[in-house]
């Protein structure tokens, strides 16, 4: 199986609509690894790694998103597969300033 890595940025009504949680659940169900996070400019950013077919499925799903989301644009950047992730998680950069 070919393994791939994709870095995406999703623009639209994608915050406050359970986008990150929905991405995480779908990625875990598919067996895709990586992370998803909100950005301060109201976009959602995600990194997906795994079998090519499964990564393609999650990327296709993010073009629509969950029920209350509205995706206006998605930037997709293929990258070199690294295998660095062992699971899929939501990152909370807005909270990191309080932790560090």
What is the token pair recorded at 11? 């623009």
CB 23 within 8 A of CB 64: no
Rounded to an integer, the average pLDDT of 3-22 is 97
What is the token pair recorded at 44? 């959602």
Euclidean distance between CA atoms 95 and 40, whole angstroms: 12
75: number of CA atoms within 13 Å, CB side?
A: 8
Q: Which domain holds residue 79?
A: 3-99
Active-site amino acid positions: 20, 38
pLDDT at 20: 97
Q: Of 17, 85, 10, whose CA–CA distance to 46 is shortest?
A: 10
- pLDDT of 56 strictly over 90: yes
Give 100's pLDDT tier (boundaries 50, 70, 90): low
Q: Write out pLDDT tens, residues 15-41.
A: 999 999 999 999 999 999 999 999 999
Q: Structural domain tally of the chain? A: 1
What is the token pair recorded at 71? 């995706």
Q: Write out pLDDT tens, residues 59-87.
A: 999 999 999 999 999 999 999 999 999 99
Rounded to an integer, the average pLDDT of 38-67 is 97
> DSSP 3-state assignment of 10?
strand
Provide the CATH number for the domain around residue 57.
Answer: 3.30.70.100
């Amino acid at each position: 199986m070919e393994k791939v890595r994709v870095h995406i940025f999703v623009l639209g009504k994608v915050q406050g609509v359970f986008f990150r949680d929905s991405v995480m659940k779908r990625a875990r169900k598919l067996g895709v690894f990586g992370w998803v996070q909100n950005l301060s400019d109201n976009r959602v950013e995600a990194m997906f790694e795994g079998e090519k077919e499964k990564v393609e499925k999650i990327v296709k799903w993010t073009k629509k998103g969950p029920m209350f989301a509205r995706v206006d644009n998605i930037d997709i950047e293929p990258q070199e597969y690294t295998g660095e992730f062992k699971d899929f998680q939501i990152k909370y950069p807005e909270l990191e300033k309080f932790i560090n």
